[in-house]
Amino acid sequence: MSNASSDRQREAPAPAGPGLKIRRAADRGQAKFGWLDSRHTFSFGNYRDPEHMGFGPLRVINDDRIAGGSGFPEHPHSDMEILSYVLDGALAHNDSLGNGSVIRPGDLQRMSAGTGVRHSEFNASRTDPAHFLQIWILPEKRGLRPGYEQKSYPADGSGRLRLVGSRDGRDDSVTIHQDVDLFAAVLRPGETITHRLKPGRLGWVQVAKGSITLNGEQLAEGDGAAIDGLTSLVLQGTGNAEILLFDMTR
211-218: long-range contacts (C-beta < 8 A, 24 or more apart)? 211/237, 211/238, 211/239, 211/241, 212/187, 212/236, 212/237, 212/238, 212/239, 212/241, 212/243, 213/238, 214/20, 215/20, 217/20, 217/22
Residues 15-54 have pLDDT tens digits of 334 599 999 999 999 999 999 999 999 999 999 999 999 9
Angle at 41 between CA 39 and CA 43, to 5 degrees: 100
CA angle 183, 201, 45 (to 5 degrees): 70
* pLDDT at res. 16: 39
Round to whole Å and give the CA distance between 171 and 40.
Answer: 30
| Structural domains of the chain ordered from first start | 7-248 (2.60.120.10)
User: What does the DSSP 8-state code read for residue 18?
Assistant: S
Number of neighbours of residue 207 by Cβ within 10 angstroms = 23
When pLDDT is averaged across residues 103-132 and rounded to a whole number, the result is 97
pLDDT digits (tens, 9 = 90+) for 65-101: 999 999 999 999 999 999 999 999 999 999 999 999 9
Decide: 91 and 67 in contact? Cβ < 8 Å: no
In this prediction, what percent of the chain has a pLDDT beyond 90? 90
Looking at residue 159, its pLDDT comes to 82
Q: What is the pLDDT of residue 18?
A: 56
Cα dihedral: 220, 57, 186, 121 (round 10): 90
Answer whether 0.85 is exceeded by the pTM: yes
Q: Angle CA(109)–CA(111)–CA(115) in degrees, nearest 5?
A: 180
